[in-house]
Structure formats: C-alpha cells, structure tokens
Chains A and B, each alone.
Chain A
C-alpha cells in the first residue's frame, strides 16, 4: 500500500504458516460457519421445498417457478435500473463534488464536512426524511413549484420512486467523494503546471491528466457501487413502508415495492419469499442468483487488489 519495498527478504520462515493459522483461527471458524457452510446449504435448499417445518426434495421445481415468477423479474429489472442509473449518478456526482473541493481556496474543510455529513445519517432516518421532504405538498415540491413546474408525487408514483431514491443516494455520496478527493490530491501538481504551459485548457487537463491518474479509483468506486446496488434493500423497503403508511411484520399482507412494485429489488423479494412467505427453498434460488452477480463484480474488484495483496506491491 505504501509502495515501499521492505528490506525483509521474501523468504517464508518455517513455522509462520502454523502461527498464522492459529492467529486467524477465529476468522477461519467464522468463514466456515457463516460463509462456506451456508453457501453449500443454500444450494442444497434450493432443490427443496422448505417452510421451517417440512423439508421435501422437489428437484428443479423452485428454478422452474422462478422462470415464471413475474415479481422476481420485476425485481431484477429494478435492480438493473439502479445499476444503470443510480450508480453512475452517485459516482459522477461524487467526483464532481470532490473536484470542486480541490478548487476551493476558502473554507474547504467546512465544505468537506458539510458534504460528508449526510452519508453518516442512519439509512432509515435519511429515507424517512426524504419520503417526507418529497411528499406531494412537501418542501421539495414547493421549491420546484416556485419555478412553475408541476412537481411529481415522488414516492407515490411508480415512475418517480426510483429517481427519488437516486436523489437520496446522491445526498449520501460522502464516502465516494472522500475517496475521490484523496485520489485527486494525489495527482502530482507539476503535471498540471506542465500542461498549462503547453496551453492545455481545463477540460483537456481533466481528460488527459486527471482521468487517467484517478482511473483505478474511478473503477473501484463504480464496482463497489454496483456491488452495493445489488444489495439495495433498506432505502427501498423504508421508502415503500413509510410512503404506504403501513407496517410490515411476519404474516402481514404487506408487499414491498410500493408503489406498484416500482421499488421492489431482488434482495427484498428474496427476503419476502424466505421470511414472510416462508418459501425458503425458493428464496435460496434467488440468493444464488444474487450470489452469481456479486461474484462477477467482486472478481473484477479483486483484480484491482491483486498487486498489493502481499502487502508490499506498488501501484497497480
């Protein structure tokens, strides 16, 4: 990480392997119990009908059911919407705000704090707030209507609920922004000076110097953004519950995704299938789908880590 090559020879001492195993044993147990075993069990259950009481082998029925489960496909479509629209909005906005911060001469510390703060607001609290702020007669719509534009009924309209959630995501770009800021400040100043002398304008400098220099971080943010979009749960769940004004408890008839399934994401449908309908076998089919998608993006991410995985690699 530091890019410094340590003086210690890369030999591997006898006994360190055993010692490392001992030191890592808590995590190794955790890995086995909460990762390896459940993953295998998920595959096993996916071939069964299981409602917590009876376990019955049904072969590929769960998979066949999935192919005809309209709500599953809606949830996949919604999740893809988030990947295609919400993630880029978040990454680009985070980059723009970080870029702005590097240009501020006065009060950059203050502005950084202000821009970062919302990302710390508990997700549930932030979402409840936004459902209120964006209700039909709420503050945001009043501001919009000052400009003579008819404001939408954000979380009550199936076409506007996901854009509403995207605004919430953009409000909470603090972490993304901070990562970009650190990367931007790492770009050697003399590159810009040299480019300026050569007559390169602002846009040209951004394209030819900034973008290539921060591309690993850009990549990192995008991939982690996609991985987290695949897990998108809390905000969608809370937005639909608060907008619909209902509670959700086991056995209740509440279906997430209000309005009209527009905020139903794959993790929510999985949760609903497994822990509200108690179709645990079917939930495992959805879990495997989620797993496959996550693995693909995680492998991309791991490539970015490879060079410093042994603790002394330079820049990738």
Chain B
C-alpha cells in the first residue's frame, strides 16, 4: 500500500523513455493492486448487509440451516415483522425523540456556539474546555443523580428525560458549531456591527446563512445520534413498552420472537433502511461534519 506512487517526470532521452515504459508497467501493476484491494475491502464492508438481506428473505426453516441463498423469496417477511411487532409504534417514538431532540438542540446550541465563537470575554477558554469535558464525559458517570431528578418529576418511563435536556444545549453540537463559526471571517460581522445591527440580527441575517452547511451537519449528527441511541431509552423507557424506540424494540426482538433469524434480520434491515437512505441524500454534510470534528486537532 505504501509503495512509491509518484515518480519524477521522465526525460526525453532513450534511456529515460525505457525507464518511463518500465514505470508505466509498474504504475499499471500498482493501479491493479490498489484497486483489487479496494474491491476486496468493499465486499467486506458491504458483505454483512448483503447476507442480512438474503437471510431476511428466507423462509423460517431455511433461515435456521445456515444456507446463504434463499430458496424462495419471502417478501412477506417484512409484512410479518410489522404484524408481529410494534415496529410502526417504535418508529413513531423514535421520530419524536430524534425530531424534537434535533429541533431543541439547534434552538439552544446555536446561540451558545455563536457566543463562544464571536464574543471576547474572560473565561472563553474555560467555557470551551468545559464543553469538551461535557462532550467526553460518559453519560453513565452522572446517570444516578440525573435519573433521580427525572424520577422526582415522575417522567421516568417516558422519553422526555432524553428530549427536554436538549433545550439546554448539547455539548457535541455546541463544539461542532463553534468549530464551524470561528472559520467565518470576522470582517462580515464587523461590517454589520458598523451598520448598527444588533447581535441577534447579525446571527440571523449574516451568520446563519453562511453557516448553513455546519448547521446541516449538526442537525444530521444529532438526528442520527437520537435515532441510534440505545443507552438513553434503555435507562428511561425500558419499563414502559409503549414508549420504546426502535433500538429497544430491536434489542428485544429475537427474544420475543424465538429464534427466527429471518424475521430478526428483516426487522434489522427495516431499522437500518431509513439511515442508509438519508445518508445517500446528505453525504456531503456528513463528510463536512466528520472532518470538522477531528481534523487539525
């Protein structure tokens, strides 16, 4: 993989041309080698999804045999999953958690990130460190006291303990938005300031339109975080089945429906599908978000 990739430009001498021919052969070989590895890796990354899909389409009996290819294509398995489980209900709960969670996060985190990126004040470093601290703290560390707070409000058993705190900002979103906002040149806001704009107006009229890709990335990450979250719903909603999310439902699916791998895989696929579809429409925002969080650290 780390073999020489670039060679200096060749000269026009006969010896140089011969070397160039040799170089071309080597380059072709190199091209073939790297692309072969890439194709093999692709199969390793996609393979699991293919086998899951194939098993999801098998009959009940065949799914237990370890066959790789379905004898008959049982598309009805997907309908069976809907019929046997509360999948639609879980989907609704997951949408509520992820949708409201994302909305609340954006509403509360944008102003905070704006203040951290734009205002000069004593303690801004401290505030930034505190954000990173919060971001890196395992949620389990403060689980007991936080659980007790919600128990006092009698909200355990619902998803509200997960949604409501997002009205008070989310550390990861603040961090990511801040990283994005500091890259916007100060000149834009200074100009608006000279024109007599208020801070709120500057945020709404100048910053937000320019920060649209960053906001899109944060929204996507937050939505996916909630969509995928298992720990939070397990802690708060496990006891009340009508408040389960897709994660909780899928985690119990196999135990509730004996050992039917075909149905379990069909359910798994139904949970994955929305995520994969969204990804294909919003690839760019993802990539932008990922590189912003980690690069140039």
Contacts and interface: CB of A to CB of B under 8 A. Distances in A.
A96 interface: yes
Given A133-B51, A227-B136, A291-B137, 10 more contacts: A23-B114, A26-B168, A33-B149, A33-B165, A122-B228, A202-B3, A217-B296, A238-B251, A245-B254, A290-B141
Contact of A247 (B55, B246, B255): B255
Contacts of B124: 20, 309-310
Interface string A141-184: 01000000000000000000000000000010011001100110
Nearest to B230: A234
Interface stretch (B13-21, B40-48, B81-89): B40-48
Interface string A218-241: 011100100100110110011001
Contacts of B6: 189, 192-193, 196
B215 interface: no
For chain A, what secondary structure do more than half of its interface residues adopt (helix, strand, loop), or is it mixed? helix
Interface stretch (B70-78, B204-212, B260-268): B260-268
Contact of B38 (A37, A100, A267): A100
Contacts of A178: 287, 290-291, 294
| 5 A-B pairs with least C-beta separation | A30-B168, A137-B66, A23-B115, A38-B142, A179-B294
Contacts of B142: 34-35, 38-39, 42, 287
Contact of B151 (A42, A52, A230, A231): A52
B161 to A, nearest CB: 10
Interface string B259-279: 101001100100110011001
Given A26-B169, A27-B168, A121-B275, A105 B31 contact: yes
Contacts of A248: 238
Q: How large is the interface on A (under 10, 10 to 19, 20 to 34, 35 or more residues)?
A: 35 or more
B183 interface: yes
Contacts of A122: 227-228, 246-247, 250, 271-272, 275
A13 B265 contact: no
B41 to A, nearest CB: 7
Contact of B265 (A129, A186, A310): A129
Interface string B124-140: 11011111111011111
A121 B268 CA distance: 10
Interface in A1-57: 1-2, 4, 6-8, 10-13, 16-17, 19-21, 23-24, 26-27, 29-31, 33-35, 37-39, 41-42, 45, 52
B145 A182 contact: no
B140 A171 contact: no
Contacts of A67: none
A23 B112 contact: yes
Interface residues of B, number: 116
Contacts of A233: 140, 230-231
A139 interface: yes
A242 interface: yes
A1 B294 CA distance: 11
Contacts, number: 352
Nearest to B279: A120
Contacts of B121: 12, 16-17, 20-21
B146 A34 contact: yes
Contacts of B143: 270-271, 274-275, 283, 287
A28 to B, nearest CB: 9
Interface in A189-208: 189, 192-193, 196-197, 201-203, 205-206
A66 interface: no
Interface of A: 1-2, 4, 6-8, 10-13, 16-17, 19-21, 23-24, 26-27, 29-31, 33-35, 37-39, 41-42, 45, 52, 96-97, 99-101, 103-107, 111, 113-118, 120-125, 128-130, 132-133, 135, 137-139, 142, 171, 174-175, 178-179, 182-183, 186, 189, 192-193, 196-197, 201-203, 205-206, 216-217, 219-221, 224, 227, 230-231, 233-234, 237-238, 241-242, 245-250, 267, 270-271, 274-275, 280, 283-284, 287-288, 290-291, 294-295, 297-298, 301-302, 304-306, 308-312, 315-316
Contacts of A275: 143, 147, 235
6 contacts: A1-B182, A117-B46, A129-B268, A206-B2, A237-B251, A309-B124
A258 to B, nearest CB: 12
A133 B52 CA distance: 8
A132 B231 contact: no
B12 interface: no
Contacts of A107: 35, 38
